[in-house]
Amino acid sequence: MNKVLIPTKLSDVAANTLKTAGYEVIQDADTPLDVQAASHPDTVALIVRSEKVTPEIMDSLPSLKLVIRAGAGYDNIDIVYARKKNVDVMNTPGANSNAVAEEVMAMILAYYRHLVQADTTTRAGLWEKKKYMGSELTKKTVGIIGLGNIGRNLVKRLQGFEPTLLGYDHFLARQRALNIGVTPTSIEDIFSQCDIITLHVPGGPSTHHMVNAELISRMKDGAVLINCSRYGVVDEEALAAAKAAGKTIGYLTDVHPKDAAGEKPSAAVADLLLPHLGANTREANTKAAKRAAEQMVAYFSDGDTSCVVNGESPNGLNPAHLQLAFLLAALARKAGGNKPIRRVECTFYGNLRVFRKWFTAPILEGLLPHAEKGLMPPAAEESLREHGIVFKAREPKDDKPYEDSITLDVVMEDEGEYFNTSVRGVVTEGIPMVSRLNNFNGLYADLRGTTIFLHYKDRPGIIATIGSALYSNGINIDNIAAPADHSTQEALAVLKTNKPVSDELLNKIAGEIDAITAFSLDV
């Protein structure tokens, strides 16, 4: 029988669901996880909240297959080590987003109306009505950093207060943000313009001190910063220095280096300090518990890995094909002129067909260089959707018996007009090769490194002109292909160079040969 440890305070619904499904469950929120792990080395799965799941814990559980974080942020789990040990890690996306959104509302209103202090002084017999003159949330400008499950939930909760909503999220398409009533804005402008700024990004190295001295210096006097994301996202020393220098800004925080009793580093700088209460509602706890148990059953009974956050590609899929998908997408983006992408259709031929969902992440990364890296297939699909891109994997046609290869058609929009860029590629001798760009067949170009593309009216002497311009600038040509399209009398020169070619030089060459288009790709 599969043994599951739940070393945390979590609704009974998780244990009950799992027991009904035939699992042995040990739930103990009082004994430290390492002690429980030592007593139950045959554990196959863990459900945790903020408890740290370290390499040592994983090493002490040789049968461990799955760790589920009943919640959103999984920075308490060493996901890289878990992958090395072949342990899958999941979270329960969105299960506690309403709880956190409501907590933010409570924090804003409590701070604006001095509720915490007023309760204390009124109980003490004081009457400090004049002192507790408040502010109204209605019609304020609110900036939301991170428009994921919590950020978007918060948008809905705030809307009754008729706010101006500004948002910043690396991975959310402009139109999607506008559709939910948020104006996409740079993080700098959010800090300069907002009355309230609230953080809803994950913790970890990519967001460490994301709110730094420069951003803090932009805040208006009287503005308030809310941190319900993770300790470390705000440079609290910089915040303390700004406050000490006379800046009147509020700081409300729910997050700490450790979820434990004791002194809190934020105490001196925070105007409201909570003990990580964001997800602490009965409703969120029940929802996260139920999701965790259901995800676990689906994982062990049906192999459902859709919520895995540390996955890697399956056996039998050559990583060079993943790299090919990335390169084709990057090429299509550059060849199409970097315009807003509306639709992507791909065909995966030969044996690649069965692995088609694994290509979504490298295609996303090639199309959108700022997109989150290494996403699992469902998250990559969601990210494409969020960027307003329709993504479709077509069935290969029987009359095209290609070997393992990929075709990508990317539709971009420019001032209401739509343009298609079509690319195809294969892996030859382990190297990803682009075989076609639009009508130009037979390229077989290795695009790793720097490659320049010049499309021109075909006539003698062009390659010599390009070669001589590169030579004059000390650039060597490592490889060259120049297929012609006889139907249009046009040709495409594709030159791999030993170093990057500046835009200035490329434009000069394009001018000399009267090119139709010219671009470079550095990957």
Ligand X SMILES: O=C(O)[C@H](O)COP(=O)(O)O
Ligand Y SMILES: NC(=O)c1ccc[n+]([C@@H]2O[C@H](COP(=O)([O-])OP(=O)(O)OC[C@H]3O[C@@H](n4cnc5c(N)ncnc54)[C@H](O)[C@@H]3O)[C@@H](O)[C@H]2O)c1
Q: Least Å distance between CB 273 and ligand Y?
A: 13
Q: Does 50 bind ligand X (CB under 6 A)?
A: yes
Q: Residue 33 CA to chain centroid, in angstroms?
A: 30
Q: Residue 474 CA to chain centroid, in angstroms?
A: 40
183 beta partners: 166
Q: Least Å distance between CB 373 and ligand Y?
A: 11
Q: Least Å distance between CB 259 and ligand X?
A: 6
Which residues contact ligand Y (rule: CB under 6 A)?
71-73, 93, 96-97, 100, 146-151, 168-172, 200-203, 206-207, 228-230, 254-255, 276, 278-279
The Cα 148–Cα 150 span in angstroms is: 6
Q: Least Å distance between CB 284 and ligand X?
A: 8
Q: Least Å distance between CB 111 and ligand Y?
A: 16
Runs of H (alpha helix) within 167-310: 174-179, 187-193, 213-218, 236-244, 282-302
**Stated length of the chain:** 523
CB atoms within 10 A of CB 336: 22
Binds 231, which of ligand X, ligand Y, none (CB < 5 to 8 A, cut-off by type)? Answer: none
Binds 299, which of ligand X, ligand Y, none (CB < 5 to 8 A, cut-off by type)? Answer: none
Q: Least Å distance between CB 346 and ligand Y?
A: 23
Among residues 278, 362, 396, 432, the one that binds ligand X under rule CB under 6 A: 278
The Cα 249–Cα 468 span in angstroms is: 61
C-beta separation of 498 from 488 below 8 A: no
CA geometry: angle 123, 127, 132, nearest 5 deg: 100
Position with the least CB separation from ligand Y: 148
C-beta separation of 142 from 195 below 8 A: yes
Position with the least CB separation from ligand X: 71
Binds 50, which of ligand Y, ligand X, none (CB < 5 to 8 A, cut-off by type)? Answer: ligand X
Among residues 52, 218, 247, 276, the one that binds ligand X under rule CB under 6 A: 276
Query: Please, which residue, 148 or 163, has the CB nearer to ligand Y?
Result: 148
DSSP assignments along 192-210, one per residue: HH-SEEEE----SGGGTT-
Runs of H (alpha helix) within 409-453: none
Q: Least Å distance between CB 106 and ligand X?
A: 16
Site for ligand X in 73-132 (CB under 6 A): 73, 96
Residue 58 sits at φ, ψ, to 5 deg, of -65, -40
Binds 171, which of ligand X, ligand Y, none (CB < 5 to 8 A, cut-off by type)? Answer: ligand Y
Query: Please, which residue, 200 or 496, has the CB nearer to ligand Y?
Result: 200
Q: Does 49 bind ligand X (CB under 6 A)?
A: yes
Please list, in sequence order, all residues whose beta carbon lies within 8 angstroms of the beta carbon of residue 217, skipping any fewer than 6 positions away.
242, 247
